[in-house]
Amino acid sequence: MFGHPVVDQAIHRHGLDIVAIAVYAIAFAVVAFATSRRPAYGIVALVLADPFALYRDVSETTLTLPKVVLLAFAAALAVRRDARAAFADTFRIRAVRVLLGCAGLVVLATGLSIAQAEHAAPAVRETLKACEYALIFACVAIAARLDPAEGPVRFAFAAVLAAVAASALSQEIFGAPSGLWFFNHPIPRIAGPLEGPNQLAGYLGLTMPVVAAFVVIRGPRRGELAVLCASAMALVLTLSRSGVLATIVALGIVIALAPSAGRRAALLSLAGGAVAGLGVLVLYGSTSLLARFSSFAEVERSGGVGTRAQLWHAAIALWRQHPWLGIGAGNFELEIAKVGPAGVRTHANSLYLQALVEGGAPLLAATLATVVASIAAFARGPFRDPFVLGAFAGGIGLALHQVFDFLTFYPKVGAMFWIVLGLAATRVASSAASLGAQGRGPLRRTAAGRLSQLGHGTPR
């Protein structure tokens, strides 16, 4: 039935060329102009560009479309006449301060590991990546405070999820980048535009709860139901056990906490997609292939990246050599050969072990603080807000998933995590202020309301 389910992926490095320069320049101009007119459009651009990198190598670093979009977004916000008031008002919000503080701790702890690193360049790279995540969060939070309209962002989440799911499902026909050996036959594991199937599962685990929250709270739309169905099918076909479980937990939280009667449509859509995905697996390997989701056994052939048992053992062994400051951010893949299997170059397959081995106690503490804050900030709701509920559920799911996979190492997942947090952090304050204003009467307007009016107007 399926001709070439697994296609070997060759990594090609591309230097900066005239086509990429033109695309980057147009993207920068369009995003900067759109953001200057309405800040929500900058968030939309960031969401849409996130999974589609257009990598180009420039010296020792990599230029991508999402980075260009982020720079245009930040520049447009910075030159707005209401930027100073928006900045001050946004950072009065406790959730914003706490989460940005945690992002800053990660930056400091990652930077501290540079001194310990045998290979300094990867440690610098990881420090800059942590700075990028902090900038994403700050820009999204400020823009969401200036322009709290949820319609454009809701559309962006559904659209990008549809594009990612369609790209991933097409790999069942045209070939997936990796596979699972089953009775000496390769079973495809789809990834779409993400770097691998586990990364796709992590991305879906962040975006699906947001879309599902809109469906159950604001009412179902046919397009969003179709997107959830396709995404559930793609999730199953990643064959990522931890990713599937974590996303089920996240979606279960959305369904359980959403103050709405619109759960039935979402559940039917998600169930239909999951059944379709399981049906494809049955076609590949009969019902015995489904046993993968009820087994904790390691795969027989790890594809040259090692098993989790090997990687976790190597991480502990390397950490014991440098227990206080670690071996340096980004250095695990370069140092694993000293204590682990030969020919393996990858991360530790766990956010928490990766933080421990590469940054020691400081980076592990900063990482744990970020994980806890990303959940605790939204634990009290309001769960009638789709962004808050989606962030709360997605944060829990990602925290669980990253016990077994290191996902925020990849900017497509890490950036989406901080986008979702930035959207939700300001909504907590806006919803609380709205309730307070209702209780005090119509004559009392909040700062959020004044900034909302500024955000919808044309910058002077």
pLDDT in tens, 68-113: 999 999 999 999 988 888 889 999 999 999 999 999 999 999 999 9
d(CA 344, CA 311): 9
Positive/negative CA dihedral, 309, 315, 319, 325: negative
Checking if the pLDDT of 295 tops 50, the result is yes
Smallest Cα–Cα separation from 313: which of 355, 363, 348, 359? 348
102-111, 166-175, 255-264: which is most confident? 102-111
Residue type at 324 in one-letter notation: W
Average pLDDT over residues 299-322: 81
pLDDT score recorded for residue 177: 86
The pTM assigned to this predicted structure is 0.91
pLDDT score recorded for residue 297: 63
- Please count the other Cβ atoms lying within 10 Å of the Cβ belonging to residue 246: 27
Average pLDDT over residues 39-50: 98
Smallest Cα–Cα separation from 354: which of 306, 406, 395, 314? 406
pLDDT score recorded for residue 319: 96
pLDDT score recorded for residue 440: 41
| Residue-by-residue DSSP string for 65-128 | HHHHHHHHHHHHHHTSTTHHHHHHHHTTSHHHHHHHHHHHHHHHHHHHTTTT-SSHHHHHHHHH
d(CA 324, CA 384): 43
